[in-house]
Structures are given as structure tokens and as C-alpha cells.
Amino acid sequence: MAVIVLFDGVCNLCSGVVRWVLPRNPAGNVRFAALQSPAGQRLAAHHGIDAHRLDSIVVIVDQQAYQGSDAALALSRHLCWPWCWAHALRIVPRGWRDALYAWVAHHRYRWFGVSPHCLLHVPGYQERFVGEDTAEHCK
């Protein structure tokens, strides 16, 4: 099953989540692309998502795109135990989940900061990043 995560490549929280997910997806079926990268922009456009709207990760599972809390829950299904159990949080009403997600997303730059460079790969996990992107595309 193909899973692609599109994320804000300069957001320290988003990049931290990517670094956290990599070792917790031992199957290696989750791949990543910064929304600012050419590959991320192409994938976002293909799914009708504005790649310049960086307030949510996008998780694409078998050609279905999820955003907000639905994206986080869709991603959790592909993590190792015990993290895969987070998917059970889907019982929380979407409005509540999305309100919390939006609140954190709104404050993430202030709380976690912004990197001057876009995360395009993590050493040891280069094959898990989509495309032949370079840092100048993420400015």
C-alpha cells in the first residue's frame, strides 16, 4: 500500500514529525515530500490541494488524500505498535479533532520555529523521500 505524506518542509514541528515517523514505520511504505518541493506541488495539484496552504499535512493512501486530523489518523495506521493504536481516536468527533489540529497548526511556527532550509531527506532514509528535489525549491 502506497502512502505519501506531504508536509511543510520548513516547519520544525512538521520536520520533527517526519523524523519521528521514519523509524516507526519499519515496513518502509510511508514516503515523504515537502509541499514546497516540485514533487510535493505536483502531488498536491493532482489531488486538488493548494500546496501554498501549509497549515496541514496531507496523507495520500492509495490515491485518496486526507488532511488535518484525518491525515494524522490515516498515517497512524502505518506505524508500529503501540503508535498504530492512535487510529482509534477516530471515534472522537471530527470537529473536535480538527479544532485541536487547527489550533496547533496555527501556533506551530511560534512554538517550534521555522528552519531556513527545507527538509528533503534524513540521513539513512533518502529513499523514503519522493522526487529529485533540491533545497532551492523550498525557499
In 26-45, which positions are buried (b, 16+ CB within 10 angstroms) versus exposed (e)? eeeebbbbbbbbbbbbebbe
Angle between helix 94-112 and helix 12-21 axes, rounded to 10 deg? 110
Sketch the domain layout of the chain as residue ranges: 3-120
pTM for this one? 0.87
Question: What's the rounded Cα separation, in Å, for the pair 35 and 7?
Answer: 5
Question: What's the rounded Cα separation, in Å, for the pair 62 and 13?
Answer: 26
Question: What's the rounded Cα separation, in Å, for the pair 66 and 59?
Answer: 5
pLDDT digits (tens, 9 = 90+) for 3-48: 999 999 999 999 999 999 999 999 899 999 999 999 999 999 999 9
- With a cut of 70, say whether residue 104 has pLDDT above it: yes
> In angstroms, how far is CA 12 from the centroid of its own chain?
12
> Quick one: pLDDT band at residue 134, thresholds 50, 70, 90?
very low
pLDDT digits (tens, 9 = 90+) for 41-52: 999 999 999 888
- Whole-angstrom CA distances from 50 to 8, 113, 117, 139 are 12, 22, 21, 17
